Each structure stands twice: as structure tokens, then as C-alpha cells.
Amino acid sequence: MALLIKFIPERMDWWREELGKRLPDLELRVWPEIGDPAEIEFAAVWRAKAGMLKSLPNLRFIFSLGAGVDHVLLDPDLPQGVPICRVVDPYLTQRMSEYVALHVLRYHRRQPEFDAQQMRGEWKELYFPTAPERKIGIMGLGELGADATAKLKALGFDVAGWTRSPKSLPGVANFHGPEGLGPFLARSEILVCLLPLTAETRGILSKSLFARLPKGAALINCARGAHLVEADLIPALESGQLSYATLDVFSPEPLAPNHPFWRHPRITVSPHVASITDPRTVVQLIAENVRRYRAGEPLLHLVDVKRGY
């Protein structure tokens, strides 16, 4: 039988060697060279073509090559009843927390303004509060959001979280559900989006949400591009409702060369690199879930399809 992988950007020989060590009885096939579809039991994918997974009649489970699974769930022909697993990677989590801390600190310490002053040759002190006086809001307290919250707390920031349902983290104010969103936003001077992309969260970063933030708040979106209503961002920046925005994710990707976000002075763009999945973890998780499936044991990091994560 075979394991199909869709999207491995580099080091194909490494992947073959490492997976071969752990799964010597499985043939590794790389899309689009899939051979006989009936021989494929397991698929590890990133943004698979719609209908690809349905074409595999003996598929046992689907493995998302990333923490997010919206790219799988958006497939209109997704085979029903086939378990979906995702990556939970300590390296990915660490890198995401680094990215969040970097940009929270940039806005907290007013670094974009100091950068602009440097370009003008202007020597001018700007006031900024201490970290305990700065209120940070984290939307989403899953694996990534919880770790970013802990890292920001360690730096002394006043951090609160907003989640779909109640969630308790030590020393962190938790707001939840539609009734908790308003009070959460009202205190968020720097807002970080780490939500999963679901029908409920698509387009959540919009004009109406920005209006509920303190005037001059900063936005950091490193979750999914479809969380943001792009047309609402620049007007919010130009009105002063938002001061700055950092965007690592876009819809679609890559960001078009002529897109206004590239050159807007108050927007920082990065090319979906806030965090990357470490291939060492991916190989270990794929092999472990294949072993568990064969042994009749519960799979690791199963996705709740109804919730979308």
C-alpha cells in the first residue's frame, strides 16, 4: 500500500529516507504521480486540488501538513467519514510565539515611528508605557494562542483572550462568545488574531470590529487571510481608528504585486512565514498515526469537522 503526499517544497530525498525508516512497508508517492489510486491508504496534504481526496477509494485518514485544516475542509468533495488529523508541532508553536512577540513589541515600543524619524533625520523622544500598562488581546487560545499568551505574560504584558467557548489560562482574563467580544475588544490596544478559520470567523476582522477597538489600536493577523475583510483595513488606518497592521496571511496567496498593502506606510507584510511546520515533527506524527491506525488505537490530533478545527 502507499502514502500520498501533496506539497513538499524541498528535500524530497530527505522525506523519502525519513519516512522509509519509519514506514518501510509503505510506498511514498508524491502528487501528481499517484499511480493506482486504490493502493493509497493515507494522504498527507496541503491545499489539495478539490476532488483529489475523493478519488482515493481506500483512504484511511487524511493528514494536514500544517496546524490549520481549513484548506482540507473547503474541498466540496471531501470524502465523508475519513478522519482528518493536523500537526501539533512545538517548533511551529515556538516560531509563532516569536512572531507575535516581535510585532507586539514593535508596536508597544513605537518602533515604526522611530524608523520613520530615522529616515527624516529627526531626533525626538516618544513616550510609551511599560508592558504591564499595555493591554494585549489574543483572539484564539488554542495551541498557538495559549503559547503566545504565555510568552507575552512572561514579558509583563496585560493579556486577555477571546474564545468561542470558555477557556481558563492562569492569570489571563478570558472573554468568550458573542457577548464577550465587545468587552474584549474595548480593552485590546494591540489585537492578535490566531483564530481557526471557520464559517463563524471568516471576515471577522472588519470595519465593525475595528470600530470597537480603542482608537489607534494595532492589528496583527497571523491566522488566515480570509479572517480579514481587506477593503476595510486601509480606511481604518487612514481614519486613525487603527494605527498599524501586521499581516502574514492573505486571501489569495501570494499577495498580488500591485496590491496596495505592499506599499502602505502603516502596513507590514510578510509572506506567510510567521511560523512553518517542522518536517521532523511531521514525519514523526505521520508515522505514529499510521502505527496507531493499524493497531486500532485513537489517532493523534483529530479534527472536529463540525467545529472546523
Q: What is the pTM of this model?
A: 0.89
What number is the average pLDDT over the span 281-291? 95
pLDDT band at residue 10 under the 50/70/90 scheme: low
Residue owning grid cell 493502493: 39
- Residue spans in the chain of domains classed CATH 3.40.50.720: 2-89+277-295, 90-269
264 catalytic per annotation: no
pLDDT band at residue 277 under the 50/70/90 scheme: confident
Active-site residue, from 224, 259, 266, 307:
224
Q: Dihedral angle at the C-alpha atoms of 238, 239, 240, 245, nearest 10 degrees?
A: -40
Residue owning grid cell 519516512: 19
CATH topology of domain 90-269: Rossmann fold (3.40.50)
Superfamily of domain 2-89+277-295: NAD(P)-binding Rossmann-like Domain (3.40.50.720)
Do the bridges between strand 173-176 and strand 190-193 make them parallel or antiparallel, or are there none, so unpaired?
unpaired
224 catalytic per annotation: yes
Share of the chain above pLDDT 70, in %: 99
Residue 9 has pLDDT above 90, yes or no: no
- Which residue in 119, 64, 112, 102 sits closest to 265, CA to CA? 112
Active-site residue, from 47, 176, 187, 272:
272
Q: What is the pLDDT of residues 68-119, one digit of tens each?
A: 899 899 999 999 999 999 988 899 999 999 999 999 999 999 999 999 999 9
